[in-house]
Structure 1
Amino acid sequence: MAMTTISSREFNQGASRAKKAALKGPVYITERGRPTHVLMTIDEFNRRQGTTPRTLLATLSQTATGDTIDFEPRKLGQITRPVDLD
């Protein structure tokens, strides 16, 4: 796994290059020579956290007795609006 270090100025001028470098390993972003941020892919982040996003298929295929599914749908907000029929 490659490790890349770039300055915040380089990052601001070439974010796409930094994102490409993050495919090979973490990208350390520095300010005044000191690392302040790390850029990595979401897959690498999840791997390091020990978590993987749960898919709908995995959720629906639960068969063990007593399993519960926590489900809290997001609020849709205003999905209707008055109609002027005149």
Structure 2
Amino acid sequence: MITDRGRPSHVLLTVEDWRALTGARTGLAQALRMRPDAEDVEFHPPRAPLAEREVDL
């Protein structure tokens, strides 16, 4: 515990402890990067349809 003028002000935690306390979840990209066989995973998401429109400049 870190104090400021004798009052508790900060706590130093490991990232793992902070995630456990805050309920932080791992995202898909991060989870795939952690896999040793990540290069072997094929992922080809469909393209999102985008509507074109004219812009008046």
Fold shared per TM-score above 0.5: no
- TM-score, length-scaled by structure 1: 0.31
- TM-score, length-scaled by structure 2: 0.45
